[in-house]
Amino acid sequence: MQELPSVTSQIAKSDKTLFSFEILPPLKGQHFEHIQQAVEPLMDFKPAFVNVTYHQEEFEYKQLANGLLEKKTVRKRPGTVGIAAALMYRYHANVVPHIICGGFTREETENALIDLHFLGVKNLLVVRGDPQASVKYFQAEPGGHSHALDLVKQVQNLNQGKYLEEDLLNSTPTNFCIGVAGYPEKHMESPNLESDLQHLKAKIDAGAAYIVTQMFFDNQKYFNFVERCRAAGIDVPIIAGIKPVSVLSHLHKLPQTFHIDLPEPLVKELKHCKNNQAVRELGVEWAVMQAKELIQKKTPVLHFYTMGRSDNIKKIAETVF
Ligand code: FAD
């Protein structure tokens, strides 16, 4: 099989804004067709790459007949590596599996990277991972990484042929192109924008080659972020993450979950929506408006968060790509 291109080489070769999207592995028990329904309509727009998120295990408590609680570990969305391989095989998609710190020891991470290397995966998005639903703050696995920076360093070591076993003979270097997450409105745990920016710069200095932003609904936040990054000496491509609003509850849930602002004009229009269908239409309209301006200002890639459904992303892509 031909080697897949790096995200950065695709950007360098294109004089147009590229299209890409992110999918979530389906909930446990669902068939691959579930993913196909979301992915297939978007393949017509020739995505430069397709990201597949990673979800760590969660703890659940089940009440037993004797009244005691049993702690159970469940992985609700397994299959990131399998989905990535299936998308490569079926659509020749340039997949970007996400690699996370949460739930992984260094050894498990190394083994996962070896699997991805054997599969021919070229690009990774390296993130720390969200805290598990049952805890407030992120907890690293014993023997794992606490910050995405350390995971970037581990991948970079592998890219130089440095495995965890230092005396490994004839080790083959990998050649992963590493992306990391950036937050135009600041990561929720960061005390301020500047401190967040310095941590982002450390990931770039350690070898990350591009940034994918958290979703934003006000383009000015993205433009300001790019400007701050450039002033701090971060000169890698900054890919814009876009999520069209699609249900009424997004009005509260998006700010609550992602710690982002919804601009007042969008909030006003959302409040006038009578049902989720109206919100979905508004979401498309707003994202098209964002996309047109971002393209006009030569943003390298518009990266759409599908959350498992793609009819709205298809409408946006039909209008702007
Ligand atoms: P980090 O870069 O480690 O930063 C986390 C926080 O720690 C920040 O506040 C940062 O400023 C601070 N920090 C960084 N380094 C240090 C340090 N050395 N000392 C002190 N503070 C430090 N989550 C998933 O579970 N699965 C996914 O697939 C996934 N994909 C994502 C894709 C994108 C594009 C984005 C934007 C987010 C994604 N997330 C995913 C969510 C992400 O895991 C969370 O936002 C997480 O809380 C932070 O991840 P990070 O990689 O930015 O972490």
pLDDT score of 99 more than 80? yes
Where in the chain are the domains? 7-320
If one counts every other C-beta atom within 10 angstroms of the C-beta of residue 29, the result is 7
Model pLDDT, residue 3: 85
Ligand 1 atom closest to Cα of 190? 9
Res 235: pLDDT: 98
Confidence at residue 60, expressed as pLDDT on a 0 to 100 scale: 73
Can you tell me the mean pLDDT for 284-308?
A: 97
- pTM (whole model) above 0.85: yes
Identify the band that residue 1 occupies on the pLDDT scale cut at 50, 70 and 90.
low
- CATH number among 3.40.605.10, 3.40.50.300, 3.30.930.10, 3.20.20.220, domain 7-320: 3.20.20.220
How far is ligand 1, taken at its centre, from the CA of residue 25, in Å? 19
Q: What is the mean pLDDT of the chain?
A: 95
CB 125 within 8 A of CB 98: yes
Residue nearest (by alpha carbon) to ligand 1 atom 52: 181
* Phi, psi (degrees; rounded to nearest 5) at 168: -65, 130
Q: Between 132 and 116, name the one with better pLDDT.
A: 116
Q: In the prediction, which pLDDT does 68 show?
A: 83
Mean pLDDT over 204-222 rounds to 98
Please report which confidence band the pLDDT of residue 123 belongs to, taking 50, 70 and 90 as the band edges. Answer: very high
As given in the structure block, the two tokens for residue 163 are 């495995």
Structure-model confidence comparison of residues 208 and 65, the more confident one: 208
Work out which ligand 1 atom sits closest to the CA atom of 215.
Answer: 36
SS3 162: coil
Regarding the beta carbon of 149 and ligand 1, being less than 6 Å apart is answered yes
Q: Is the pLDDT of residue 62 over 80?
A: no
Per the CB < 8 A criterion, the answer to whether 2 and 33 are in contact is no
Please provide the DSSP assignment of 55-89 as one string.
---EEEEEE-TTS-EEEEEE-SS--HHHHHHHHHH
Residue identified by tokens 């440095």 is 162
Tell me how far apart the alpha carbons of residues 201 and 240 are, in angstroms, rounded to a whole number.
17
* pLDDT tier for residue 167 given thresholds of 50, 70 and 90: confident
Q: CB of 53 closer than 6 A to ligand 1? A: yes
Residue corresponding to tokens 């710690």:
259
The pLDDT assigned to 277 comes to 97
The string of pLDDT tens digits covering residues 67-94 is 888 777 777 788 899 999 999 999 999 9
Residue 259 Cβ < 6 Å to ligand 1: no
State the distance from the centre of ligand 1 to the C-alpha of 272, rounded, in angstroms: 34
